[in-house]
Amino acid sequence: MPQVTLIEAVTQALAHEMARDPSVVVLGEDVGVNGGVFRATVGLSERFGPERVLDTPLDETMIAGLAVGLATQGMKPVAEAQFEGFVFPMFDHIYCHAARFRNRTRGRMTCPLVLRAPWGGGIRAPEHHSDAPEAMFAHVPGLRVVIPSSPARAYGLLLAAIRDPDPVIFFEPKRIYRQYKEEVPDDGEALPLDVCFVLRDGTDATLVTWGASVKECLEAADQLAAEGVSVEVIDVATLRPLDIDTILESVAKTRRCVIVHEAPKTGGVGAEIAARLAERAMYDLVAPVERVCGWDTHMPLFRLEMKYLPSTARIVEGVRRVLAHG
């Protein structure tokens, strides 16, 4: 079985669903002839034709509006924003319309669209190309927010997102687009949305993370294991709706929790997870919940970019701080 990168797994999932379901269409800037800025849609136009792989003008507002219209008329559009910093002109259509159709029509209509966007820092890109705005979308009722962390999870979760009857924001961590490969069978098997993935069992502390930071959390767990510390690693994957039960079960066992994300600390999804732990796991915890996050600044360009992102060393220190209690 050939091994693929995360970006190749995205292409594989798109091709599989387009072949399986003729209502699936792809649209965005340069997704057709050029195959997308990161080549996520390479080869799709040649295979499925320009009527199903639509090159749009440089107009994110129009892309989102067109996707909403298609979704309410029986199609399953997969719209691409070239970078996560370009999603904000789309936010009006997503927030005011896509996320509300099920509620607005009392279930008579849904809006089965997927908005894909490269997400996060770590590739020395300019301003508007390195943000992690997942908390803004995770705050919106009616949306699913999904961030894969590996080629296999990108493939399975994107299949599930396209098949979902409601709108899904699918952020792809560009830092690991081509960082490594793994075997991903093109078998059409979707992974479940709305659940966390426990990537490593542990007993002394729980690391909760998503996206590209999963790599550093696993590295931190390996480093701590060499010191005799057993760390459980959880990939949240679907940030909304949040599978808090898996996190609660882990924290009840380990009694300590460190939350890691590259978005700024204030108002991040990590704060929501910490709040739910305070509400439902206070008596399980023997240490305050620790957050290891990006700093409360815009991404510094370019020399300090990797200093901004949570490193393996910072994560290890976060775990040591919670271990110092109790």
The pLDDT, as a whole number, for residue 326 is 72
Detail the DSSP E strand segments found in the chain: 3-4, 24-28, 53-55, 76-80, 114-119, 144-146, 168-173, 182-183, 197-200, 205-209, 231-235, 238-240, 257-264, 290-294
Distance in angstroms (rounded) separating the CA atoms of residues 81 and 89:
10
The pLDDT, as a whole number, for residue 302 is 84
Residues forming a β-bridge with 257: 206
The pLDDT, as a whole number, for residue 126 is 87
pLDDT in tens, the chain (326 residues): 789 999 999 999 999 999 999 999 999 999 999 999 999 999 999 999 999 999 999 999 999 999 999 999 999 999 999 999 999 999 999 999 999 999 999 999 999 999 999 999 999 998 899 999 999 999 999 999 999 999 999 999 999 999 999 999 999 999 999 999 999 999 999 999 999 999 999 999 999 999 999 999 999 999 999 999 999 999 999 999 999 999 999 999 999 999 999 999 999 999 999 999 999 999 999 999 999 999 999 999 888 999 999 999 999 999 999 999 97
CA angle at residue 147 from 59 to 141, to 5 degrees?
A: 75
The pLDDT, as a whole number, for residue 301 is 85
Q: Is 128 in contact with 259 (CB distance < 8 Å)?
A: no
Specify the CATH number for 3-183; select among 3.30.70.890, 3.30.70.20, 3.40.640.10, 3.40.50.970: 3.40.50.970
Helix (H) or strand (E) holding 154: helix 151-163
Its CATH class, for the domain covering 197-323, is alpha beta
Give the tokens for residue 150: 């590996």
Distance in angstroms (rounded) separating the CA atoms of residues 242 and 275:
13
User: Which residues of the chain form CATH 3.40.50.920?
Assistant: 197-323
Quickly list DSSP for 159-184.
HHHHH-SS-EEEEEEGGGSSS--EE-
| Burial label, 168 (beta-carbon count in 10 A; 0-12, 13-18, 19+) | buried
Sign for the CA dihedral angle at 152, 157, 159, 160 comes to positive
User: Which residues of the chain form CATH 3.40.50.970?
Assistant: 3-183
List residues with catalytic annotation.
129
Whole-number CA gyration radius for the chain: 19
